[in-house]
Amino acid sequence: MATYKIQIDDEVRDATVEEAAQIEERQAEAEAQADAAEAKAAAKKAVLLKLGLSNEEAAALLG
């Protein structure tokens, strides 16, 4: 597990094992969400490409 520095108010110290695990858990979740958002955007782009529409045209179509 990587080492992290954490700050509590004005004190900076090394993270404990548990704290480091929490940081990595949240970072992994963020990465998964970013991947999901990227996949969603790619899927949207693929559909628009298939339909031959721009983002603006699709937005106008959907009202």
Q: Which long-range contacts (CB under 8 A, 24 or more apart) does 28-37 make?
A: none
Residue 7: C-alpha distances to residues 10, 11, 26, 61 (Å):
7, 6, 17, 49
Binding mask 24-63 for other proteins (x = CB under 8 A): -xxx-xxx-xx-xx---x-------------xx--x----
Residue in 1, 7, 17, 52 binding other proteins, rule: CB under 8 A: 7
The SS3 assignment for 12 reads strand
Residues that bind other proteins (CB under 8 A): 4-10, 12, 15, 19, 22-23, 25-27, 29-31, 33-34, 36-37, 41, 55-56, 59
